[in-house]
Structures are given as structure tokens and as C-alpha cells.
Structure 1
Amino acid sequence: MDLKEGDKVDLVIGVKSMLGYSVLIDETYEGLLYNDDVFSDIEEGMKMVGYIKKIREDEKIDVSLRPQGFRNVIDSDTEVILNKLEEKGFLLLTDKSSPEAIKFHLQMSKKAFKRAIGSLYKDKKIILKEDRIELVQ
């Protein structure tokens, strides 16, 4: 197998199961995209870019739609939040918002959201208010 964890690959979405979606990786390997890693609508037959998350001992492959590695993920998430803030000036989301609300508005998990706003706050790019997040002017 010429794949390694973190590799960027082409995916074709397959059948949905209780765990997630079967995927065809680079038209050669079979893999699994877990439901927990899906933050937008996908359908059988869709082609998308993915990343090798883990290659298990039994040679089964887990994939993600997001780049692997803390810095890659957090940069991507902060960019999404900054784009939304530049568009609207504020977001009616906080660290107390429900995971469903965060997923609906930003297509990311609550954990990813909290990491990204923590990074943006530390970099003094956002202001955290009781009921919203605002972009520093």
C-alpha cells in the first residue's frame, strides 16, 4: 500500500452504513468516512477530496474530509470563522452554543469551534461577548 496517514486523496462516496460512508480512495482502495467526520450533505457517487486519517493493522483505512494535524485543522477552522465574521460582522454563537447550532452555521464540530475561537481570541482577532462573537475592528 502506497498510502500514509495525512495523505491527500480523491474519494468517491459509497453506501451509507450505521458507522458512516464507505469510500473508494484514489480509485484503488476502500475506506470508511465516519459520520462524526461529516459536516455537510454528501451523497452516494459524490467525488471529493479527503485525507487519510488512519491505516489500521487490518489494512482498513479511515478517512476524513479535513486535513489531519492540529495546525492544518485549526488554520482551516479559523479561516471559516473569520470569513463568516467578515461577511456579517458578528456570529450569534458562543462556547455555550449547542453542537447542532455550530454544525448548522459553520459545518464543524463544537470541539473544533472552541479550539478555533480560542486561537482567534489569543491572537486578538475576535471579541467574545456573552451572546456573540465579534470581529476586532
Structure 2
Amino acid sequence: MELQEGDQVDLVIGHQTNLGYTVLINEEFEALLYNSDIFKDIEEGSRTIGYVKKVREDGKIDVSLRPQGFRNVIDEDANTVLRKLEEKGFLMLTDKSSPESIKFRLQMSKKAFKRAIGNLYKEKIIELQEDRIVLIK
């Protein structure tokens, strides 16, 4: 199999299962997109870009809608938070916000959100307040 972890691939969304969605990679390989990796609305039959998350020993493939690799994910998530902050100058979320609230506002997991704001805080781009995150001008 020529696919490797991290490869960008074309996906066709298949049917939903208890674990997630079956997908077709490059119209050739079957794979699974887990529910835990879905942070946007998807529909059966739709096409999207995905990334090979894991090629298992049994030949099965797991995919993600997000680039793989720590730096890729951090940068993408930090940019998402930054774009939202640039709209109003603040975001009514904190590291104590519920996962549902974060997913609703930013389409990312709480873990990804915390990594992103940690990165932005270290770069002195944001200020963390008790009830919000503020963009430093």
C-alpha cells in the first residue's frame, strides 16, 4: 500500500457507523473517519480533503479531516482562534469552557483549543482573563 501516515488524500464520505463514517480514499481505498475526529458537518456522498492518520498492521486505514503532526495541528488551531479573536477582539471562552461550547464556536476539541491558546499566550498574542480571551493589540 502506497499510503503513509500524514498523506493528504481526497475523501468521499460513505455511510455512518457507530464509530464514525466509512470513507473512500482517492476512489481506491476504504478507511474510517472516527466521530472523535469530526468537528464540522459532513454528509454522505460529499467530497473533502483528509489526511491519513494511521495505516494499521491489518491493512485498515484511519483518516482525519485535519493535518497530522503536532506543529501542523497547533498552527491551524491557533489560526482558527486568532481569526475569531480578530472579529471582536475577544472570545467568551476560557480553558474552563465546556467541550461542547468550544466545539460549537470553533469546531475543535477542547484539547486542541487549550493547545492553541497556550501557544498564542506564550507568543504574547493573547491575554487570558477570568471569563474571556482578549487579543493583545
TM-score over 0.5 for the pair: yes
Q: Does 1:5 align with 2:5?
A: yes
Map of 2:86 onto structure 1:
86
Unaligned runs of 5+ in 2: none
- What letter matches 1:49 in structure 2? I
Deviation at 1:94, TM superposition (A): 0.1
Map of 1:31 onto structure 2:
31
- What letter matches 1:14 in structure 2? G
- What letter matches 2:94 in structure 1? T
Q: Does 1:135 align with 2:96?
A: no
Within a 5 Å distance, the mapping from 1:1-137 to structure 2 comes to 1-137=1-137
TM-score of the two chains, using structure 2 as the length reference = 0.99
CA distance in 2, matches of 1:61, 1:87: 38
CA distance in 2, matches of 1:50, 1:3: 12
CA distance in 1, matches of 2:2, 2:83: 36
CA distance in 2, matches of 1:79, 1:117: 10
CA distance in 2, matches of 1:98, 1:92: 12
Aligned length, in residue pairs: 137
TM-score of the two chains, using structure 1 as the length reference = 0.99
Secondary structure in structure 2 of the residue aligned to 1:22: strand
Unaligned runs of 5+ in 1: none
Aligned structure 1 segments of 4 or more residues deviating by more than 4 angstroms? none
